[in-house]
Each structure stands twice: as C-alpha cells, then as structure tokens.
A and B are shown apart, each in its own frame.
Chain A
Amino acid sequence: MTDVLGEGVTITKEGETSAFGGEILTVNFGPHHPSTHGVLRLIVDLDGEQIKRIKPVIGYLHTGIEKQMEALRWQQAVTVTDRHDYLSPPINNLAYALAVERLMGVDVPPRAKALRVIMSELTRLSSHLVWLGTSGIELGAMSMLMYCFRERDTILDMNEEISGFRMHTSYIRPGGVMADATPRFLEMLDRFCRTMPGYIDEYEALLTNNPIFRQRMIGIGRLSAEDAKVLGASGPMIRGSGVAWDLRKAYPYSGYENYDFEIATSNMCDCYGRYLVRIKEMREAVKILRQALDRLPDGPVNVDDRKMLPPPREELETSMEAVIHHFKLFTEGYSVPPGDVYVAVESGRGENGCYISSDGTHKPRRVKFRAASFVNLQALERMALNHMVADMIAIIGTADTVLGDCDR
C-alpha cells in the first residue's frame, strides 16, 4: 500500500496482509473529527478492527506563539502565553512569570504566592472538568458534559470576578498578580470549597462503578511505569502508572511546600487508573484551595520594584519619578538581564515549562514552551496498539491532549 493519502505517507510495509487474509486498511481520522479533542489527525492502519499502527500528525493549530513573543515586550508577552494550553491559562502564565522572575532575581510577596496557588488549583479543576465532561460524552455519557460544565461555569465566574476575564485571564504576571482578590471572590471561593466535594461525589457515583464505563476503560490503553518513564510522560499519564512524580512536590514553587496534599497515583496503568488519578487530583485541589483560603496572608500583591511594575495612579500626580517610571515601562518596557532559565510547573496535563533565553533587551530573544501534550502524544502509539478502533477514542481522551499546547 503506497502513498494512499497522497502525502508521501507510507506506513505499511509492501505486501503486508492482515490476519484475516485481507489487506491492511489505512484510515484517516481527519483533523475535523468530533472526538479528537481538537485538530489532531491520526493515520491508522487497521487489520479488521484492530489497530496495527498509528501515526499522529499535528501542526493544524500551530500559532507561532514563540515567534510572536519575540515581537512583543516582556510584559505584553504574558497575554499570549494564556492561549497555548487554553484549558489552563493561569498555569501557563505562572510558568512564564516564574521564569522571568528568576532571571530578574525578584521574589513575589506571600499574598501573591497564595493567590497564584489559588488560581492554579482553580484552573486545574476547570481543566479536569472539561476532560471529564468531554471524555464522558465521547463514551456515551452525555449528562457528564452538562454537570461538569455547570461546575466549570462557577469557576469561570470566579475568574471573571478576580480578573475580568472568563478564560484567558493573564492574571499571573511577572512581578506578582494583576489585582488583589475582592471580598466577593473570597466569598465565592469559600462557597465553592464547601460544595465542590459533593459534586465530585456525584460524578463518581455516575461513573466509577458503572459497568459500561468500567468495561470501556479497564485494561484499555496500558502504559507500564517503565514505558511511561522512557517515553517522558508526565502528569496523570505517569501517575496513572504508579510513579509518584508531581512537580509541585519535586520542585515546589510559589509556596506549594506550605500546603498539605497527596500525590494521586494508581497502579492500574490503564485508562481507568488515569481516571481515578484525575478524580483524586480534583479532590486534592479542593483541599489546597481550602488551606490557601484559610491561611491567605495579608500584604501587597506585587513586587515593590518600580522598574518592573508601574506605580499606582495616585502617585503619578505627586511624584516626578513615578511619571518617568510609568513612561519608561509603557513605552519601552523593562529589560531582563541576559541568561537562560527553565521553569516547569504542573498543569492538568503534566509538565508545562517555560525556557527563556534573554539577551538583555526589552523583548524576549527566545521563549520555548515545553508542552506536556506534545510529549504525552508520543505515547499514543504504545498505548493504542492492538486495541479496537472504538477504544482509540477512550485512549485519546485519557491522554488529555490539548492541541493548542501541542502545536503552540
């Protein structure tokens, strides 16, 4: 079978026949497909209904984010970082902000760290809710979508309260956060922490012991611990195979060492194990939110460095220096000292990192985002071998890839 798809793609050897005496069929799961979680293209070799070979083709959402950031100033570039892993924007912001702060040698005040943790955990919950909703609907459990998006709407309302945006908040910036939490936000968060565990119990009641769900997920998409480590998987992909690797515990950042939470792992190594890991992560996220809310320290939310952050508007009326700082920051922007740094944070997908190489000017020279989905997708081939076509939907769902993250 040569060049069936007309793109120089030949993944079957010449003359290979199927076990049933027919031929290997190459099918294209095109970029426009309801279940591929975005514009992912899969070229699948099928022997009857069994998958013999699978080749993901990505790049259909390549946005040139890294090049775009080279044309923007350091503080403008934060808005673009939101959009690559679009299910967890504050976590992308956090990776970038931590990297810039490491290069600048500044440390944000404790209240900012706590607010960053709160936004990260809220977004982890919202990302897992989208995963649960869409995985549910792809396996046939339509009501999961409705329930999960209802909770997600509460989280988005909180985002809107604190930053004005539902999704792409750009809330976490180098030097601190955008604005302080309002009393209404803290009220909403308190109510959310009290009600969310009950909702997670509802989801578990629907799915965890459901025989159809179990049959479709147990034993599907096996990825052993050794394979997961060799293939560089991170996040629930590696934790679902029993390896207790979580960046929040391994390299604590933004004050995570002060919170008491467990790493969710499962020894099942299959789709069901990863489902259990994500449910447990949702519960731990609510725990962290509760602790962060109860212990929220007082104080400023931004670094007190006028060369990095603009002065408050009242000062502009009295101080000449403040006017000059304001002017410099909004025309040229601050410069980051030359050097390079890599900071990785734990997102809903795994290790999302930001590598910055700075040349000392007011624009980034090179910003590279290490995308968890890019690496996790390479494990797809190992997981999907010899499964049926219908199982592939479950496997793609369990990898929880976000194509924006993958393609940048």
Chain B
Amino acid sequence: MISEKLIVDKGTSAGDDWITVDAANVHEALSGLRDEGYRMLSFLTCVDHLADSSRKWPARFEVVYQLRNLESREQIRVRAFVDGDPPHIDSVSDLFPPANWDERETYDLFGIVFRNHPDLTRILMPDDWVGHPLRRDYPVGGEPVEFSEEHERWQTAPEKA
C-alpha cells in the first residue's frame, strides 16, 4: 500500500486523479502503487514550467508518471518536482520495464538524470547532440519565416522581463 505520509498533495484535474510525491520518495511510492495493483505504466514524461505564470510551481521540472490498474481499470497520475543542474531522480525501470526507454527519452529531451538506469543514453537525437531540445529555453529552431510574428525571436523562450 502506498503510505499516506508519502503523499504531499492530491487532486483531480479534468477527471484524472493525481497525487504529488517528493522526488526522493518516487521509487517507494511507485513500488507501493504497483503492489496495490497499478502494474501498468502508461507513460512517464516531464513538463518544464519555466516562466509559467499561471500558478506557483514548487520546482522547474515536473516528472509525471501515469499508472494503470488492468483489473480494476483505475488510473492515477504521480507527479514529482525536481530542480537542479542537472536534475536527478531515481529510475523506476526496475519496477516497470517500459520506463527504460521513456526515461532515456526524458533524459534526451529534458536533461533529467535518472539514477540507477541501466543505459542512460540519448535515444531520439543523434549521440553527439548538445542541449536538451524540449526545454523551454531551447529555441524551436528551423528556418526563420519572413513576415511571421516570430520572425524576430523564433523560439518559445519566455519574455525577458
């Protein structure tokens, strides 16, 4: 059973239940949920909250795990906030094998380092690529298009205040 004291926050968003746990307790929390029956990891990913002024975020990167119980059909989302340069969090690929590639992709695109991952290397970008493309301060890239509103600053970076 997932211990109540691991849950920092919980709620519902658009019909989905979610809980927030501390980044240090992620492995224990997911292990508890797995014992409870949530044996399928749908996906894991990261959201970068740089310059999001809609609410106060505990940290810049939010790692999101979506778990599913195949028997009872319940779903739950687990969120953990990490910060740092580079941000670290424990890997859950020993609990859920599909997390292996998902964590490599999150490392590749966001730069989150997963401790104890068997093979944390780039998976989608070329091996010698510099930078983590899906971070908010990484420009979209490509060619600037004349007369577009983004012509001057072709990126999704936040406004310099």
Direct contact of A and B (CB under 8 A): yes
Instruction: Knowing A71-B140, A102-B15, A250-B73 are in contact, say whether A62-B125 is a contact too (CB < 8 A).
Output: yes
* Residues B133 and A342 in contact, CB atoms below 8 Å apart: no
Residues on B with beta carbons closer than 8 Å to the beta carbon of A102: 14-15
Q: How far is the CA of A7 from the CA of B125 in the complex (A)?
A: 14
Tell yes or no: B143 within 8 A of A by CB. no
* Residues A342 and B41 in contact, CB atoms below 8 Å apart: no
* Residues A229 and B42 in contact, CB atoms below 8 Å apart: no
Identify the stretch in A168-176, A202-210, A295-303, A365-373 within 8 Å (CB) of chain B at 4 or more residues: A365-373
Residues on B with beta carbons closer than 8 Å to the beta carbon of A103: 14
* Residues B156 and A70 in contact, CB atoms below 8 Å apart: yes
Tell yes or no: A341 within 8 A of B by CB. yes
Instruction: Knowing A71-B156, A341-B13, A365-B47 are in contact, say whether A232-B40 is a contact too (CB < 8 A).
Output: yes
Q: Hey, what's the 0/1 contact readout for A364-397 against B, CB within 8 Å counting as 1?
A: 0110101000110110000000000000000000
* Residues B14 and A232 in contact, CB atoms below 8 Å apart: no
Q: How far is the CA of A105 from the CA of B13 in the complex (A)?
A: 11
* Residues B97 and A378 in contact, CB atoms below 8 Å apart: yes
Residues on B with beta carbons closer than 8 Å to the beta carbon of A366: 45, 47-48
Identify B101's interface contact among A64, A251, A374, CB under 8 A: A374
Among B75, B98, B133, the one with the most A-chain Cβ atoms within 10 Å of its Cβ is B98
- The residues in B between 126 and 151 inclusive whose CB is less than 8 angstroms from any CB of A are 126-127, 133-134, 140-141, 150
What's the minimum C-beta distance from B96 to chain A, rounded to whole angstroms?
A: 7
Interface of B is mostly: loop
Nearest residue in A to B13 (C-beta to C-beta)?
A339
- The residues in B between 113 and 127 inclusive whose CB is less than 8 angstroms from any CB of A are 122-127
* Residues B64 and A378 in contact, CB atoms below 8 Å apart: no
Instruction: Knowing A232-B98, A339-B13, A342-B66 are in contact, say whether A7-B48 is a contact too (CB < 8 A).
Output: no
Residues on B with beta carbons closer than 8 Å to the beta carbon of A341: 13-16
Residues on A with beta carbons closer than 8 Å to the beta carbon of B70: 229, 243, 245
* Residues A378 and B98 in contact, CB atoms below 8 Å apart: yes
Nearest residue in A to B96 (C-beta to C-beta)?
A232
What's the minimum C-beta distance from A22 to chain B, rounded to whole angstroms?
A: 27
What's the minimum C-beta distance from A397 to chain B, rounded to whole angstroms?
A: 21
Residues on A with beta carbons closer than 8 Å to the beta carbon of B3: none
Residues on A with beta carbons closer than 8 Å to the beta carbon of B13: 339-341
* Residues B134 and A67 in contact, CB atoms below 8 Å apart: yes
Nearest residue in A to B53 (C-beta to C-beta)?
A359
Nearest residue in A to B108 (C-beta to C-beta)?
A59
Q: How far is the CA of A339 from the CA of B109 in the complex (A)?
A: 22
Identify A231's interface contact among B15, B42, B98, B140, CB under 8 A: B98
* Residues A67 and B133 in contact, CB atoms below 8 Å apart: yes
Number of interface residues of A (CB under 8 A): 46
* Residues B42 and A351 in contact, CB atoms below 8 Å apart: yes
* Residues A368 and B45 in contact, CB atoms below 8 Å apart: yes
* Residues B42 and A342 in contact, CB atoms below 8 Å apart: yes
Tell yes or no: A333 within 8 A of B by CB. no
Tell yes or no: A164 within 8 A of B by CB. no
Q: How far is the CA of A365 from the CA of B48 in the complex (A)?
A: 8
Identify B54's interface contact among A8, A70, A338, A351, CB under 8 A: A338
* Residues A232 and B133 in contact, CB atoms below 8 Å apart: no
* Residues A229 and B55 in contact, CB atoms below 8 Å apart: no
Residues on A with beta carbons closer than 8 Å to the beta carbon of B52: 359, 365
Q: Hey, what's the 0/1 contact readout for B50-79 against A, CB within 8 Å counting as 1?
A: 001111000000101010001001010100
Q: How far is the CA of A7 from the CA of B127 in the complex (A)?
A: 9
Tell yes or no: B88 within 8 A of A by CB. no
Identify B42's interface contact among A64, A70, A370, CB under 8 A: A370
Residues on A with beta carbons closer than 8 Å to the beta carbon of B133: 64, 67
Residues on B with beta carbons closer than 8 Å to the beta carbon of A375: 98, 101
Q: Hey, what's the 0/1 contact readout for B73-94 against A, CB within 8 Å counting as 1?
A: 1010100000000000000000
Q: How far is the CA of A342 from the CA of B100 in the complex (A)?
A: 21
* Residues A58 and B41 in contact, CB atoms below 8 Å apart: no
Q: How far is the CA of A8 from the CA of B13 in the complex (A)?
A: 44
Residues on B with beta carbons closer than 8 Å to the beta carbon of A70: 140, 156
* Residues A338 and B55 in contact, CB atoms below 8 Å apart: yes
Q: How far is the CA of A251 from the CA of B54 in the complex (A)?
A: 31
Among A68, A71, A363, the one with the most B-chain Cβ atoms within 10 Å of its Cβ is A71
Residues on A with beta carbons closer than 8 Å to the beta carbon of B127: 7-8
Q: How far is the CA of A344 from the CA of B66 in the complex (A)?
A: 11
* Residues B16 and A342 in contact, CB atoms below 8 Å apart: yes
* Residues B54 and A344 in contact, CB atoms below 8 Å apart: no
What's the minimum C-beta distance from B147 to chain A, rounded to whole angstroms?
A: 15
Residues on A with beta carbons closer than 8 Å to the beta carbon of B125: 59, 62
What's the minimum C-beta distance from A208 to chain B, rounded to whole angstroms?
A: 30
What are the 8 A-B residue pairs with the smallest beta carbon separation, nearest first? A232-B98, A341-B14, A59-B124, A370-B43, A62-B124, A339-B13, A102-B14, A368-B45
A-B contact pairs, 17 of them (CB 8 A): A8-B127, A58-B124, A62-B124, A62-B125, A64-B140, A71-B140, A102-B15, A229-B40, A232-B41, A232-B42, A341-B15, A351-B42, A361-B54, A366-B47, A370-B42, A378-B97, A407-B124
Given contacts A59-B125, A341-B15, 13 further A-B contacts (CB under 8 A): A59-B123, A59-B124, A62-B124, A67-B133, A251-B73, A338-B55, A339-B13, A340-B13, A340-B18, A340-B64, A341-B13, A357-B47, A368-B45
